[in-house]
Amino acid sequence: MLPADVFIAKYIKNSKLRSIVAYTNTLYGGKAGVTPAYVHAILSASFINGICRFEDTSAGFRDLLAGVITENGGRVLTNQKGEKIITDNRNIAYVKTQDHEYNADFFISDIHPCSLLQIIDNEAFPKSYRTRLQNIPNSYSAFSLYIKLKKDAFKYIDRTEYFMAEYSKVWDIGYSFDSWPSGFLFMTPPKKNQGEYADTALVTAPMPFDAVKKWENSRTGCRGAEYEDFKKCQTEKIIRLIEKFHPDFGGCIDKICSSTPLTIRDFYNVKEGSLFGYSKDCNNIVMSQIPVFTKIKNLFLTGQNVNLHGFCGVPLTSILTSEAILGSNYITKKLSNL
């Protein structure tokens, strides 16, 4: 299995063009000599076929999915953090939250597998399985800016822009904090009835977890002055770079909110604030592939760590998980009969 960088080089001889084609690696945490070519191909195909944005936020899509569940007799419960999973004879007996205990025939976990290990009985999985999950490398995290713009100050951009500091270092973005930021994504999200000017701007700059590791034992809102200074410093670096291609951008800013890999880690309960879950390694593809089945008979896995992340991978993985419960090709057969 070829790594993505070798695959690209096989067909493109110009080194600068290779880097341009490879820049979508910031959407999957690509690494030279490691990331399988199929990951790059799937993400690139989604862009070639046409990319879309949500107007306002993705809340509308969330509500549609929730509607499918409720229309079929299900319930969607929020603010029910699972605190402990109790197992009995290779089965989950119940999941305990702060206020309730939930029983079911089947349980599906879409959280990071290492987060799952923290709340399930130690004896539920063999030590070898636990060790394997804990040792799989994670993709990098990110430093993000959420910018509120002054009214009618900055024009709406109907595309996503990418900044790359050095073409030759396209495969190094996100894995080193030296000379950070070496690249980032910049966009102005649309709103309904979008006019000439943008209301907000978003910046996502890949960042390794090591950059904030000194604060890893802190809690959100209680990380201290040094941490706040760190965020301010990184914010200023990004704004200066944005002004290279959007002069006077700083003067268009009303307010800025920033987040680090710690924010992502704590908000999503994902190890090291990983953006794309476990890293895929073409040299050891079995190591980074997690089956939807587990040693617990009524526990199944889904989500970006099992197969592939994002709008491409997560829906496909959900089908695999569903068919693990309902039967092979169950959904495919149902769709063919529509």
241-282 pLDDT tens trace? 999 999 999 999 999 999 999 999 999 889 999 999 898 899
Say if residue 162 is in the same domain as residue 271: yes
* Residue 28 structure tokens: 């999957």
Instruction: With a cut of 90, say whether residue 211 has pLDDT above it.
Output: yes
- Give me the phi and psi of 31, to 5 degrees please: -140, 130
- Which residue did the predictor score with more confidence, 202 or 27? 202
Say if residue 269 is in the same domain as residue 282: no
Q: Which helix (H) or strand (E) holds 87?
A: strand 84-87
Say if residue 301 is in the same domain as residue 218: no
Instruction: With a cut of 90, say whether residue 7 has pLDDT above it.
Output: yes
Q: Give the model's pLDDT for residue 300.
A: 96
Q: Give the model's pLDDT for residue 335.
A: 75
Say if residue 117 is in the same domain as residue 144: no
Say if residue 257 is in the same domain as residue 309: no
Q: How many domains would you assign to the chain?
A: 2
* Domain-embedded: residue 115: yes
Average pLDDT, the chain: 91
- The whole-number average pLDDT for the span 7-25 is 92
Instruction: With a cut of 80, say whether residue 125 has pLDDT above it.
Output: yes
Report the C-alpha gap between 54 and 189 in whole angstroms. 8
Share of the chain above pLDDT 70, in %: 99
* Domain-embedded: residue 67: no
Report the C-alpha gap between 265 and 326 in whole angstroms. 33
Report the C-alpha gap between 33 and 129 in whole angstroms. 26
DSSP assignment of 249-294? GGGGEEEEEEE-HHHHHHHHT-GGG-SSSBPP-TTSTTTT---SB-
- The whole-number average pLDDT for the span 150-157 is 96
* Residue 36 structure tokens: 């399988």
For residue 154, the enclosing domain spans 140-275
Given a contact cutoff of 8 angstroms between Cβ atoms, the answer to whether 29 and 174 are in contact is yes
Given a contact cutoff of 8 angstroms between Cβ atoms, the answer to whether 209 and 272 are in contact is yes
Say if residue 130 is in the same domain as residue 152: no
What is the SS3 assignment for 138? Answer: strand
- Give me the phi and psi of 86, to 5 degrees please: -100, 125
* Domain-embedded: residue 326: yes
C-alpha closest to that of 26 among 163, 138, 180? 163
Q: Give the model's pLDDT for residue 168.
A: 87
| Range name among 30-39, 220-229, 312-321 with the lowest pLDDT average | 312-321
What is the SS3 assignment for 35? Answer: coil
Give the domain-ending residue among 254, 275, 296: 275
Q: Give the model's pLDDT for residue 307.
A: 81
* Domain-embedded: residue 211: yes
* Domain-embedded: residue 103: yes
Name the residue with tokens 């999941």. Answer: 95
Q: Give the model's pLDDT for residue 101.
A: 94
**Identity (one letter) of the amino acid at 6?**
V
Give the domain-ending residue among 275, 293, 315: 275
Q: Give the model's pLDDT for residue 301.
A: 95
Say if residue 282 is in the same domain as residue 271: no
